[in-house]
Amino acid sequence: MMSVIHAKMDLLELASLCESLVGELLEAAHHPTRIALCGKLLCALESLKYVLDSPVPAHCVQALTGTAEEVRSMPFLLGAESQTLRQYCASLTLVLLSGTLLEEDRQIITGLLFDLVNHLRDDIHTPCFIKTPEGIVNMYGDSVETFSWA
């Protein structure tokens, strides 16, 4: 739980941090630790909200680039956009922070949150840019300079 969230984190770093935090949350037995992890996860998810609405940073494009065949053959994850998945995750985190759940329900919601955060991480890390002879474009043929996750 020592990872620091800072303003310069990119979408790949934030998605991976969310994945790490929810993994720790799933294993946490101590109530104050769970609350702290939920708070940090919510902060990371809120930071991700703004990053997803911004253009993809140039240093992330290479990691998110594949051939046309690779991009088109990527598995269908959940069908929701990254921002929608992020909202689902943030809402479930707020439910956990409320402290109003029975223990069995808390475990179920935590498991669901774990699954959704991992879907979100996979969605964000899935290649969405295609290397062409003319340069790198997104799945819709737009140059990377005009692409954002919104």
Q: Is residue 3 part of a domain?
A: no
Predicted confidence at residue 150, as pLDDT, reads 46
Predicted confidence at residue 148, as pLDDT, reads 53
Averaged over 38-55, what is the pLDDT? 95
DSSP alpha helix (H) spans, 28-81? 31-52, 58-61, 68-72
Averaged over 123-147, what is the pLDDT? 79
Q: Is residue 1 part of a domain?
A: no
- Residue 3 CB-density burial (10 A; 0-12 exposed, 13-18 middle, 19+ buried): middle
Summarize pLDDT for 13-27 with one digit per residue, the tens.
999 999 999 999 999
Q: Is residue 2 part of a domain?
A: no
Q: Is the pLDDT reported for residue 77 higher than 60?
A: no
Q: Is residue 5 part of a domain?
A: no
The pTM of the full predicted model, rounded to 2 decimals, is: 0.86
Averaged over 123-146, what is the pLDDT? 80
Domain count, the chain: 1
Q: b/e map of 78-96 (b: 16 or more CB within 10 Å)?
A: eeeebeebbebbbebbebb
Q: Is residue 6 part of a domain?
A: no
Q: Which domain holds residue 80?
A: 11-146
